[in-house]
Chains A and B, each alone.
Chain A
Amino acid sequence: MNRLSFLLTLLLAAAPARADIVYLNKGDEINGAVTAMDAANVTINAAGKEQSYPRADVMKIQFVKEYNSGAAEPQKDPEITGLLAAPPNPASYPNDGYLTWLNDVNIVINADKSWTVTRRGIRVILRERGKSPAAYLSHNYLPGIQTADIDYAYSLTDSTVSYLNDISLMEGSPYMGYPSYDKLKLVKYAIPNVQVASVLGYQSHSYTAYASTYPFFTDMAFRFYEPVKTARLTVTVPDSLRLSYTEFNLPKGLVFSKTAKDGKSVYIWEASDLPSYRRESDSPPFMRYTPHVALSLDGSWEDLRAALAPLLKERVVITPAMKNKADELTAGKTSDLEKAEALYNWTAKEIKYQSVDLDDYSYLPKPADETFSNKGGNALDKPFLLYALLQAAGFNPEFAYARGKSAPLAENLANIRQFDYAECLVNAGGKQLVLAPLGDKRRYTELYSQLQGARAFKALGTGGPLFTNPDHSADQESEATTADYALDKDGNLSGSYTSRPTGEKQASMRGYKDYKKEDLDRDMEKFVHSIHPQARLKGYKLENLSDLSKDLEFSISLEAAGYAMKAGKYMILKVPGLDYSAADAAQTERELPLFWYARDLNTRTLKLRLPQGYKLYHAPRNVDIQQAGQSYKAAFNASPGLLTFTEEFRLDNTWVDPPDYPKYKALKEAMAQFSENWIVLEKK
């Protein structure tokens, strides 16, 4: 087929057809074009035949819109014709499901600080598994502030253009389960007729009205888990406003330009031939490594605080009921520390956490009395209520927004929309506490790992507006285990162990408080079974499970028939529960850093009483290795009738760059190799 006839075919194939749906009361759905309706009947042309239905039989009519406006016609799009002239070869992308040929984001900021965003894309399907993800698109909008529309979306398969229509487009609320926060709308759609080698084109636009608490901010990533041929970000700003931006991890070869024309400045970032990422274990959050540009209008943190503080202060509504509650909670507490803890514990437990992002609802908290009476709040409103209760109790707290570790803070962009958490700062008992009551499983001293060492913005308070949260040491994120076991001459093991977790581990284990007793019993049985197939639970204790004012203590006792195996005069066994794997360090090299949200410390002391008539024939060699900010040491000590095992794993460095990966790999291999070793006993 020559090019002219190909384009002609496109034109013919792209002729629009109306596709409405008439829903009848009896359940039928008639697909076709509704041609007329009068007082008595609805007429639809379905499959070339005119059919009439009494209006009384019709439940509803859906008018199906086809999204083909603007620059929808592929045959006129130079990007498409260029692509078709030299289509990408799937063999050149052996890892990938689809290629983003073009990812073009065009932002226009208006003089009144409102802004429009036009997103245009072209994708090519390289192989089967790329079909669904490439053809699925979605966008959100906040009614009242934003509007969003699709201009066009189509697939070009062989010579057929198939446009998206309302049939495979749906809008609704993603937060329906949180009625008090149900504002955001999700629009999702699937482009039809997608095959391997199809070309997909789409464009949508949105408009956001300016609000001081929802200002312009965007953060565009350039590289993803599928390759990108060309990624372009264009931002047009009137000369009356100044744009600030921060570039993160931008690749070499990215082209940046800034031009001025007609009283506007135009900024363009363009990157080409960005390969796909591959999934690697323990990699950092996406925005910590992908190339991206964060943008905001110019301003200072001080100015932001000055603008925000009055709005926040007017929401610090302390009702008599709140004052009474604060008094009740702090009554009898003798120190500020105890009082602050009591207020934190109450907020953490009694106010249901509503998992709704700030960006999906509001950066301005609900008035504190509203959260108090609703008994529910998100990552902004729960801390804000605590702030009010601290005030009610006579503290002089500060209130801050924090950027979790999922993305870096662009320090030069004074913009509230960079934050995804909130927290209270209070001096109590000579300590500066950072309190973030989100869920109901953490003690007041146990900051979420997302917030440990996070950058934060003090919106209500004194001193510099930006600060860094305290980071937990490995000891604050630890588990200390002691175990005492005995082995008999038949290889049966019995004994118990006790564990004291802190930090994330304690919070995770406290999740058992939500189990009913019988479910917990069964979970403990399952846990013991994970040590050995014939292990039986003898008993367990989980103390202080629901009491946030106390640390947890966990102990369990068990027995396992046939734990040690016999081979002639030998009996062999491994340390119960010692099973390290190097499977996550199997790659020879990595592209992405290794990352953990929190430090970690695990210690264990285990005593094993040997069976009568047996002596130690072989114990694994002691190990002591330090690599890449992590360390592992383990040792066996034998005395008559007793073998003592001690180990300590410490993770101090939560970020390991790829060049240091071989060191991490060596550590993991040494640990795994150590746990492969057998303890061999020999009959005396």
Chain B
Amino acid sequence: MKKTLLLAAMLVPALCRAETLKLRSGPDIEAKILSMDADTVKLEGEKVLPRKTVSEIQFTAAAAAKPQEAAAAASPEDAAAAKAAFAKAGELARKYTGVNGLVLLDSGTEILNPDGTTIDRNHQIRQILKETLKQSWGQIIACAEEGRDRVKILKANVYNPDGHIYTLDPSQIKTSKPQEEGGDFFTSGNVCTQYVMPNVQVGSIVDYETETETYNPFRKDFFFPQWGFQDDQGPVARSEITVTVPENIPLFYSVKNFAGLGEEKPAISSAAGTKTYVWALENVPPMVGEPSMPSYKDVAPYLRTSILKDWSPIFDWLDQMYKERTKPSEELTRFTLDLIKNSRTDEEKAAKIYHYVQKEIRYIALKVGVASGSGGYDANLTWKRRYGCCVDKALLLTTMLEVAGIQASPIVINTNNQAEVDFTVPHLEYDHAITVAEIGGRHVFLDSTNYDYRYPEIASFDYGVHVMNIFDKKIDYVPVPMPKENGSFYDYTMKFSPSGASEITEKMHYSGSREGGLRSYYRSIKKEEQKQNFQSFAKGVAPSAELVSYEVNNAEKIEDPFSIGLKYTAADYPQRAGSIMIIKLPDFEMEPYRINEISLDQRRYPIEYEASMGRYQHYELAIPENFEVVSLPGKIDLSNKYSSFKAECAKTSKTAITCSVAWERPERVIPPADYAEYKAFIEKAASYTKSQIFLRDMTSKEK
């Protein structure tokens, strides 16, 4: 009989537990569902619900919370912990002054069970030294996916300097589902546990521990604990992470930025069929922000671990999902072939399809679970809905390119404003998806998420990163374009009368991501607002300027180059000082706000730009006949490892002056070791651009 019972339990496990039914109105109910058809849901106890009244059935919901008790009185252990924490805080405070808070303990525990379920515990002891941290350090918000995870607050004590101790009050723990206003990003499925710790004041120490149990993992071999050991609000007395895995499962890891802080190798111990790895750092100074610095994970001491030896399982997982979702229906195939029927080359076909997906599929991200989160939706569904996120658009683009006979693959990428993916340890780390295609013998990366990028341009945040090419199952690299391929090109003609009345014409065109970025802006504003912009441009050059005309070309037509231009007059553009006329060249000066990244005397971290840069200006000036040139900005030719700046002004005839500037930076990252040299270079160039053109009025009676 024992055996029979066991077999029955294996066959009908659903009978043994209740489901959670979410109703369209009213509270959730827990009941055992016997059956369901198109119209009704039958529950145990002969209860029947119309199916249209039910919005969701959860089969694996976490058990409902028990009635909550009130806070317990502080124990002698709590008092001892408070005493120890204040002692530690005093010690740390003496070493670090002027910080917002002290992290006395920052401790994580990650446990992988043999059945693939996991436990993640987080224990924090922190002292709040400024008002600004009372909100963020004084409350706990821990989110979990419904049906997979459950969150518990194990401890939440507040130790106040006056000796009061406030312990966790379970009756005050709440849950909530987050949602933000905004039309582009829709997420669901998460429930957050909230707890506001009471009586938190400046000087309070908070001591709390949370536990997240993943009881229903979607993949039992995906276990990727990560840990950052530094805080940006204050020093960390001790930061530690403990990872425990079954003894027969190897753990792979990678550490970054531990130099001078501690041991990269973990302490390893074994017990009861498990192996435990511990990394710990002590006295980690606070992180101090710098303009244009890399992301936290790239500069802080950081650990990544994995039970995967290589990337194959991740490639295989994504490959399987993406292959399934990139099978074109007959209708999509017909449509694609019709779309490209007049395109002769692969380049033309790819451009047509790229622009179609950019334009016709509006960006909306609908993330309801693992598959839509990482795998996206079926390309045919996205095509029908006419909306999708980056993954959906990348899959549709891939599908349509393949229909056109162009080999393509979805790419997953951590954009260059996020952490650099550490490919030495397999893990899931990407925030974007694009497409790569073999077009005309070239390996072309295409990002159809945005509307405004002309084939084959992509957004600047895609440049210079290593990415996962899913169908080829390899690590690929998105190159950084050369400066001229990601540049701004400005042409100015300026005519001056003896009285100083001026007529100025500016023409601007762009390449690479610059073109797409500018097009995006001009497309997003009204025609009248475009005019206001050009009026402001002109006024920014000369307070007396009046806009004569302007042009915005191809803001909505992404197939063609985008350009802008304007013409304005100014009654008294050059500045007079006695007989001297001083002329400032428009946009010539490198204003400090444009070079904020070199504002610090020293840097600890690299400067990280999104893209390379090319800026090319050309000026043609027509000066009045009775004026002589007193001085012009001289010739300058500066260059270093990362950038070059060339400029020159010359008198080309009695009444003509020509100036040109070429500022190029092919590199995206400037390491701190070369900062001083780079800063000096930029400062020299910036100082040069303050130069003015001096003319003298030969007819003036003033000296």
Q: Given A375-B201, A526-B596, is A517 in contact with B526 using a C-beta cutoff of 8 Å?
A: no
> Nearest CB to that of B173 among chain A residues?
A179
> Nearest CB to that of A35 among chain B residues?
B38
Instruction: Please state if B600 and A522 are interface contacts (CB–CB under 8 Å).
Output: yes
Instruction: Please state if A167 and B366 are interface contacts (CB–CB under 8 Å).
Output: yes
- A131 sits at the interface (CB 8 A): yes
Instruction: Please state if A132 and B134 are interface contacts (CB–CB under 8 Å).
Output: no
Instruction: Please state if B35 and A522 are interface contacts (CB–CB under 8 Å).
Output: no
529-552 of chain B: CB within 8 A of chain A = 529, 532, 535-540, 542-544, 547
Instruction: Please state if A63 and B51 are interface contacts (CB–CB under 8 Å).
Output: yes
- B132 sits at the interface (CB 8 A): yes
Q: Mark B12-35, 1 if CB is under 8 A from A, else 0.
A: 111100000000110000000111
- A514 sits at the interface (CB 8 A): yes
Segment at the B interface, from A208-216, A446-454, A626-634, A673-681: A673-681
Instruction: Please state if B682 and A582 are interface contacts (CB–CB under 8 Å).
Output: no
Chain A's nearest CB lies how many Å from the CB of B598? 8
Instruction: Please state if B387 and A680 are interface contacts (CB–CB under 8 Å).
Output: no
The interface residues of chain B lying within 8 Å CB-to-CB of A21 are: 368
Q: Given A60-B56, A128-B451, is A572 in contact with B692 using a C-beta cutoff of 8 Å?
A: yes
Q: What is the CA–CA distance of A562 and B684 in the complex, to the nearest angstrom?
A: 10
Chain A's nearest CB lies how many Å from the CB of B323? 14
- A622 sits at the interface (CB 8 A): no
Instruction: Please state if A27 and B592 are interface contacts (CB–CB under 8 Å).
Output: no
Per DSSP, are chain A's interface residues mostly helix, strand or loop, or mixed?
Answer: mixed
Q: Mark A141-157, 1 if CB is under 8 A from B, else 0.
A: 00000010000000001
Instruction: Please state if B596 and A173 are interface contacts (CB–CB under 8 Å).
Output: no
Chain A's nearest CB lies how many Å from the CB of B549? 14
Chain B's nearest CB lies how many Å from the CB of A95? 4
Instruction: Please state if A176 and B192 are interface contacts (CB–CB under 8 Å).
Output: yes
- A319 sits at the interface (CB 8 A): no
121-156 of chain B: CB within 8 A of chain A = 130-132, 134-135, 138-139, 141, 146-148
The interface residues of chain B lying within 8 Å CB-to-CB of A135 are: 183, 362
The interface residues of chain A lying within 8 Å CB-to-CB of B34 are: 38-39
Q: Mark B167-210, 1 if CB is under 8 A from A, else 0.
A: 00000001011111111101110001011101111000000000
Instruction: Please state if B192 and A55 are interface contacts (CB–CB under 8 Å).
Output: no
The interface residues of chain A lying within 8 Å CB-to-CB of B114 are: none
- B371 sits at the interface (CB 8 A): yes
Chain B's nearest CB lies how many Å from the CB of A549? 15
Q: Mark B560-590, 1 if CB is under 8 A from A, else 0.
A: 0000000000001001011010101000001
Q: What is the CA–CA distance of A532 and B290 in the complex, to the nearest angstrom?
A: 19
Q: What is the CA–CA distance of A466 and B594 in the complex, to the nearest angstrom?
A: 50
Q: Given A26-B218, A568-B631, A673-B543, is A37 in contact with B35 using a C-beta cutoff of 8 Å?
A: yes
- B11 sits at the interface (CB 8 A): yes
Q: Given A586-B539, A680-B580, is A188 in contact with B57 using a C-beta cutoff of 8 Å?
A: no
- A336 sits at the interface (CB 8 A): no
Pick the contact of B544: A171, A518, A673 (CB < 8 A).
A673
1-53 of chain A: CB within 8 A of chain B = 21, 23, 25-29, 31, 34-40
Pick the contact of B289: A522, A529, A568 (CB < 8 A).
A522
The interface residues of chain A lying within 8 Å CB-to-CB of B690 are: 565
Q: Mark A47-70, 1 if CB is under 8 A from B, else 0.
A: 000000001101111110100000
347-367 of chain A: CB within 8 A of chain B = 349-350, 352
B187, B219, B366: most-surrounded residue (chain A CB, <10 A): B366
Instruction: Please state if B176 and A173 are interface contacts (CB–CB under 8 Å).
Output: yes
- A558 sits at the interface (CB 8 A): no
- A180 sits at the interface (CB 8 A): yes
Q: What is the CA–CA distance of A197 and B76 in the complex, to the nearest angstrom?
A: 71
The interface residues of chain B lying within 8 Å CB-to-CB of A678 are: 575, 577, 582, 692
641-660 of chain B: CB within 8 A of chain A = none
Segment at the B interface, from A103-111, A272-280, A410-418, A457-465: A272-280
Q: What is the CA–CA distance of A60 and B148 in the complex, to the nearest angstrom?
A: 10
The interface residues of chain B lying within 8 Å CB-to-CB of A587 are: 532, 535
- A516 sits at the interface (CB 8 A): yes
- A488 sits at the interface (CB 8 A): no
Instruction: Please state if B381 and A585 are interface contacts (CB–CB under 8 Å).
Output: no
Pick the contact of A186: B181, B187, B370, B599 (CB < 8 A).
B181
Instruction: Please state if B196 and A173 are interface contacts (CB–CB under 8 Å).
Output: no
Instruction: Please state if B12 and A280 are interface contacts (CB–CB under 8 Å).
Output: no
The interface residues of chain A lying within 8 Å CB-to-CB of B182 are: 136, 188
Chain B's nearest CB lies how many Å from the CB of A406? 17
The interface residues of chain B lying within 8 Å CB-to-CB of A61 are: 56-57, 59
- A479 sits at the interface (CB 8 A): no
The interface residues of chain B lying within 8 Å CB-to-CB of A118 are: none
The interface residues of chain A lying within 8 Å CB-to-CB of B180 are: 174, 186
Q: What is the CA–CA distance of A60 and B372 in the complex, to the nearest angstrom?
A: 14
Q: What is the CA–CA distance of A673 and B386 in the complex, to the nearest angstrom?
A: 51
Q: Given A617-B577, A618-B577, is A519 in contact with B288 using a C-beta cutoff of 8 Å?
A: yes
Instruction: Please state if A174 and B181 are interface contacts (CB–CB under 8 Å).
Output: yes
Instruction: Please state if B192 and A567 are interface contacts (CB–CB under 8 Å).
Output: no
Instruction: Please state if B532 and A62 are interface contacts (CB–CB under 8 Å).
Output: no
The interface residues of chain B lying within 8 Å CB-to-CB of A96 are: 526
Instruction: Please state if B57 and A60 are interface contacts (CB–CB under 8 Å).
Output: yes
Instruction: Please state if A59 and B35 are interface contacts (CB–CB under 8 Å).
Output: no
Q: What is the CA–CA distance of A534 and B385 in the complex, to the nearest angstrom?
A: 55
The interface residues of chain A lying within 8 Å CB-to-CB of B631 are: 567-568
- B518 sits at the interface (CB 8 A): no
Instruction: Please state if A188 and B56 are interface contacts (CB–CB under 8 Å).
Output: no
276-311 of chain A: CB within 8 A of chain B = 276, 278-280
The interface residues of chain B lying within 8 Å CB-to-CB of A180 are: 196
Chain B's nearest CB lies how many Å from the CB of A501? 20
Instruction: Please state if A179 and B196 are interface contacts (CB–CB under 8 Å).
Output: yes
Instruction: Please state if B368 and A168 are interface contacts (CB–CB under 8 Å).
Output: no
- B254 sits at the interface (CB 8 A): no
The interface residues of chain B lying within 8 Å CB-to-CB of A25 are: 60, 216, 218
The interface residues of chain A lying within 8 Å CB-to-CB of B543 are: 581-582, 668-670, 672-673, 676
492-506 of chain B: CB within 8 A of chain A = none
Instruction: Please state if A27 and B12 are interface contacts (CB–CB under 8 Å).
Output: no
- A247 sits at the interface (CB 8 A): no
> Nearest CB to that of A564 among chain B residues?
B690
- B54 sits at the interface (CB 8 A): yes
- B226 sits at the interface (CB 8 A): no
Pick the contact of A94: B131, B527, B536 (CB < 8 A).
B527
The interface residues of chain B lying within 8 Å CB-to-CB of A92 are: none
B60, B369, B529: most-surrounded residue (chain A CB, <10 A): B369
Q: Given A25-B218, A519-B289, A530-B593, is A375 in contact with B38 using a C-beta cutoff of 8 Å?
A: no
Q: Given A23-B369, A280-B532, A376-B196, is A517 in contact with B99 using a C-beta cutoff of 8 Å?
A: yes
- B630 sits at the interface (CB 8 A): yes
Q: Mark A504-542, 1 if CB is under 8 A from B, else 0.
A: 000000000111111110100110011111101100000
Q: Mark B339-374, 1 if CB is under 8 A from A, else 0.
A: 000000000000000000001101110101111101
Chain A's nearest CB lies how many Å from the CB of B558? 9
Q: Which 7 A-B pairs have the closest CB atoms?
A: A172-B179, A517-B98, A136-B183, A27-B370, A27-B218, A529-B599, A672-B543
Can you list 13 A-B pairs with a CB-CB distance of less than 8 A? A23-B368, A59-B59, A128-B523, A168-B186, A182-B194, A188-B183, A193-B387, A195-B360, A519-B289, A532-B592, A582-B543, A583-B537, A678-B582
Which positions in B face A, CB cutoff 8 Å? 11-15, 24-25, 33-38, 51-52, 54-60, 97-100, 130-132, 134-135, 138-139, 141, 146-148, 174, 176-184, 186-188, 192, 194-196, 198-201, 216, 218-219, 233-234, 286, 288-291, 359-360, 362-364, 366, 368-372, 374-375, 377-378, 381, 384-387, 451, 523-529, 532, 535-540, 542-544, 547, 556, 572, 575, 577-578, 580, 582, 584, 590, 592-593, 595-596, 598-601, 630-631, 682-683, 686-687, 690-692, 694
Known: A179-B174, A352-B138, A565-B692. 14 other contacts (CB 8 A): A31-B381, A55-B59, A135-B183, A157-B386, A177-B141, A193-B387, A513-B131, A529-B592, A529-B600, A533-B687, A584-B536, A618-B580, A676-B542, A678-B582
